[in-house]
């Protein structure tokens, strides 16, 4: 007798979801990286539909160069031990297997984005105020990552449905957040639209959706929390010095960080000068950005390569790539 999905163990749920997802070649490759890095799955009965949280390696308590070097050495060693940092995912079990499968596709893309450093979250060092994005750039990067994650989840769900694996697509159509995007994609595909064009269409539709305001506000709140921690690490820093530490992101710079063999073709054909990708629609967030710019100055420094990215998947990927 097979227990219903809701009553299966965490290990059994994970095996079911991964077995489905790895049937898509694009995601199969990412799952190999996820398995190498390490992961932990949680299935609370209530809570977020899906959750993966990018987090920075923090070194606030390392108050000397010697301690920081010891940390760096130890981090490298920890990657090969049971104490290694791992990716953590949360999926709301009460929504069922279909929605969980589709949601995991979305969240796994967030892990992949983190692995590539697309969130541009800097390492936190004691006494050092890090170079980081200005508020508007951070919000723009956040929106890009969310839009890309859902478009990939819908695209993979469709590919799997075409192979006779219906669970992820059923999850997309059952999703309160994304069923309209999935329906638009389905209509495009049924009328003979090319897959990449249909993907580009829903990528743009994502930016026009009612959920955009929520993500803008969420990103601004995350930014405020992060920068407050940066200031606590370097309490004597002046507003002028903070202004000098800010960087402005031009979204095509994000694409450069994605391996050529993995970047979806539609992302390379979009008009990145279109204001929908960089403008802010929420009046509340517009006010926060205006206050930010008034305090620190409008940022025009586009040297985002100065940011020392500090998320564990990114550092792990850099170390792994260097050893290949």
3-state SS, residue 238: coil
Phi-psi map region of 88: left, alpha, beta (phi>0 left; psi -120 to 50 alpha) = beta
Q: How confident is the model at residue 69 (pLDDT cuts 50, 70, 90)?
A: low
- Give me the pLDDT at residue 1, please: 42
- Give me the pLDDT at residue 321, please: 78
Which helix (H) or strand (E) segment is 88 a member of? strand 87-91
Among 15-24, 36-45, 179-188, name the one with the lowest average pLDDT.
36-45
For residues 129 and 233, the answer to whether their CB atoms sit within 8 Å is yes
Residue 18 CA, chain-centre distance (Å), reads 19
Question: CB within 8 A of 114, min separation 6: which ones?
Answer: 52, 54, 87, 311, 313, 314
- Give me the pLDDT at residue 73, please: 58
Q: How confident is the model at residue 317 (pLDDT cuts 50, 70, 90)?
A: confident
CA distances for 194 relative to 27, 184, 186, 267, angstroms? 21, 13, 11, 14
Q: Which residue bears the tokens 């930016």? A: 207
Which tokens sit at 4? 């219903």
44-62: average pLDDT = 71
DSSP code per residue over 124-184: EETT-PPPEE-HHHHHHHHHHHHHHHHHHHHHHHHHHHHTT--HHHHHHHH-TTTHHHHHH
Among 72-86, 111-125, 203-217, name the one with the lowest average pLDDT.
72-86
What pLDDT, in 10s, does the model give residues 222-244? 999 999 989 988 899 999 999 99
- Give me the pLDDT at residue 277, please: 94
Rounded Cα distance, 157 and 171, in Å: 9
pTM for the model stands at 0.91
- Give me the pLDDT at residue 80, please: 54
What pLDDT, in 10s, does the model give residues 143-194? 999 999 999 999 999 999 999 999 999 999 999 899 999 999 999 999 999 9
31-44: average pLDDT = 91
- Give me the pLDDT at residue 51, please: 86
83-87: average pLDDT = 73
Is the pLDDT score of 72 beyond 60? no
Q: Round the average pLDDT of the chain to a whole number and report it.
A: 89
Which helix (H) or strand (E) segment is 190 a member of? helix 179-190
Which tokens sit at 10? 């965490």
- Give me the pLDDT at residue 58, please: 58
For residues 124 and 230, the answer to whether their CB atoms sit within 8 Å is yes
Is the pLDDT score of 75 beyond 70? no
% of the chain beyond a pLDDT of 70: 89
Is beta strand 246-247 parallel, antiparallel or unpaired with respect to 132-133? Answer: parallel
84-89: average pLDDT = 82
- Give me the pLDDT at residue 320, please: 78
Question: CB within 8 A of 192, min separation 6: which ones?
Answer: none
- Give me the pLDDT at residue 38, please: 86
């Amino acid at each position: 007798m097979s227990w219903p999905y809701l009553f299966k163990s965490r290990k059994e749920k994970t095996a079911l979801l991964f077995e489905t997802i790895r049937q898509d070649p694009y995601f199969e490759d990412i799952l190999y990286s996820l398995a190498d890095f390490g992961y932990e799955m949680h299935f609370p009965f209530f809570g977020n539909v899906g959750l993966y949280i990018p987090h920075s390696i923090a070194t606030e308590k390392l108050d000397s160069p010697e301690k920081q070097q010891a940390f760096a050495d130890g981090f490298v060693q920890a990657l090969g031990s049971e104490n290694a940092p791992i990716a953590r995912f949360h999926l709301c079990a009460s929504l069922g297997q279909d929605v969980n499968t589709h949601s995991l596709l979305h969240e796994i893309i967030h892990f992949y984005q983190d692995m590539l450093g697309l969130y541009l979250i800097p390492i936190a060092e004691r006494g050092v105020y890090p170079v980081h994005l200005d508020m508007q750039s951070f919000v723009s990067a956040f929106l890009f990552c969310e839009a890309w994650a859902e478009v990939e989840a819908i695209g993979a769900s469709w590919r799997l449905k075409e192979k006779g694996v219906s669970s992820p697509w059923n999850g997309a159509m059952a999703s309160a957040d994304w069923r309209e995007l999935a329906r638009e994609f389905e209509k495009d595909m049924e009328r003979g639209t090319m897959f990449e064009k249909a993907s580009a269409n829903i990528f743009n539709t994502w930016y026009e959706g009612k959920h955009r305001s929520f993500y803008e506000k969420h990103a601004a709140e995350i930014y405020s929390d992060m920068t407050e921690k940066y200031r606590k690490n370097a309490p004597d820093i002046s507003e002028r010095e903070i202004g000098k530490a800010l960087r402005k992101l031009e979204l095509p710079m994000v694409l450069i960080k994605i391996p050529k063999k993995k970047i979806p073709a539609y992302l390379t054909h979009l008009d990145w000068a279109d204001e929908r990708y960089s403008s802010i629609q929420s009046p509340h967030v517009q006010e926060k950005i205006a206050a930010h710019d008034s305090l620190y100055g409008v940022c025009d420094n586009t040297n985002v390569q100065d940011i020392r990215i500090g998320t564990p998947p990114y550092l792990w990927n850099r170390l792994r790539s260097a050893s290949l």
